[in-house]
Homo-oligomer: A and B are copies of this chain.
Amino acid sequence: MGDITIHPIGTVGRDAEDEGLSGAALRARPVRLVLEPEVVDAMLGLEPGDDIVVLFYFHRSDGRPLQVHPRGDLSRPLRGVFATRSPARPNPIGVTTVRIRRIEGNVIEVVGLDAIDGTPILDIKQYEEHFDTPYEQGKD
Interface residues of A (CB under 8 A from B): 1-9, 11, 23-24, 27-28, 36, 39, 41-46, 50-53, 55, 57, 66-67, 78-85, 89-91, 93, 95-99, 111-112, 120, 122-128, 131-135, 137-138, 140
Contact = CB atoms under 8 A, between A and B. Distances in A.
Contacts of A55: 55, 91, 93, 95
Copies of this chain present in the complex amount to: 2
A22 B128 CA distance: 18
B97 A131 contact: yes
A86 to B, nearest CB: 9
17 contacts: A6-B6, A24-B138, A27-B135, A39-B66, A42-B67, A42-B82, A43-B83, A44-B80, A45-B80, A46-B83, A55-B95, A82-B123, A82-B126, A84-B125, A97-B131, A97-B134, A133-B133
